Structure 1
Amino acid sequence: MTLEGTFDPVESSAEPLVVHRSGTGPPVVLVHGGMPAPMTWAAQQELTADWSLIVPNRRGFPPSPTAPWQDFLADTDDLADLLEQIPGGAHLAGFSYGGLGAVLVAERLPHLIRSLTVIEAPLWIAAEDDDAVRELAELSDRFAASVDDAEAEAEFFAVAGVDPKMFAELDEDVRQALELGRKLRSPREAKPRFETITEAGVPVLVASGEHSPALERVCDGVAERLAARRVHLPGAGHAVQHAPGFNTIFDEFLTSAEQQRRSTT
């Protein structure tokens, strides 16, 4: 069920998100996509020696408050509330659908964003004239629109790196996440003002996994618009943050951004 302009995100923000915190050092907010936060960011726990990881469970994903669907506008409001509680702001990383809210809150509150990392976020607008991107955007909407479209489901899961054979062994949180994956505000509605982020001088890293030509083109477009460092990390499909070498690059990027911030304050 792809939603277009039918949901007021303010209504979903009455209760705060449940947030997991670990580690020491400068704060890094990690925003998950369609899978639960612990699964999404498991590989980043090794960074806790140098960084304070702040991992919110997006609205609708247990143990955060329930929601009838995913909505990147609600995510943006939730992230704004979270960032405003962190003295000096934080480094921010958003994966997949969670990257939409991350980019939008960076536009809204650039002064609180120490750096921004975008991992295969479906920001179709960044390459909307590309045929492959248009096809992927249409596939995403088809998948969300109907549980009976087996072809769209198979194609979408292939791009997302999901093996349907795994479903029988999944825990309840993952089952709920898969159900929520069909109920969302369409990424077509995400139209951030990229120039607001670049004009604020926010350091940006854009990462992709070289598994989907369409997503590569989207990431290229996002990187160009945000004057970002662009990295390609194959080996984990869509879950680029699990790919070999990601943590090394991520840690180096965060360190550089933190040093840049200190030199200008």
Structure 2
Amino acid sequence: MANSGEEKQESKSVIRPTDDQARQLAKGLIRSARFGALAAVEAGSGHPLASRVAVATDLDGTPVILTSTLSGHTAAITETPACSLLVGEPGKGDPLAHPRVSLFCEARQIARDSEDHTRLRRRYLARHPKAELYVDFGDFAFFRLELQRASLNGGFGKAFALDQADLCTPLGDLHQWAVMEEGAVAHMNEDHGDAVTLYAEVLLKAGEANWRLACLDPEGLDLAAGDRIERLWFSERLTDPQDLRPTLVALALQARNS
């Protein structure tokens, strides 16, 4: 019979309490992911099917993929929308020492003639510009992988269980945010490239490169240079799109005074 010490050891949970640091780590892994491993149930066989997919995000942080009807994972998530996505790129050394997050999702195909499709097409191409060669082919479609919950591994001994509220960014008026983002991204890249460079090279210390603003949302900016994506978080979440301009100005001033 186990003694009380052994019973306490067995009952001790390996899951840490979810805090803001864990939430930001998970969101950052999702927002900065260029690819991930999609796990789905193979159509017809019922076997697990794992595929590498290119990833972008919607304004609220929901992962987005573009798939062809010729792909086995398209048939899989069409027949069985329940799926998982693993993101978190390993760096040098032990790959298991690097953070990653497993996302439990429901795949939802986006109608080509919808406002959602227009927004997702723009955001996806900001991450994957070469996809413009095939994004409008008739056999390609966008899927939002609607987040249900997640298992975050922040490294050895750093496990967290997150729910939908921990992962998604509240938006309010989605259309208003989408219109604002499209105009702001174009304006910053065309007229304020120097500020974008300062965001990346001074505030993020990401090194010299041809940086551009790929996407933005109420919680931060996604900066891109070739295959690199860097995330710059705002000090606090914006609740109104009108707050974006003063926030970007303040960040530029902060970088210039650093």
Larger radius of gyration: 2
TM-score normalised by the shorter chain: which range applies? under 0.3
Task: Output the TM-score relative to the length of structure 1.
Answer: 0.23
Q: Which has the higher helix share?
A: 1
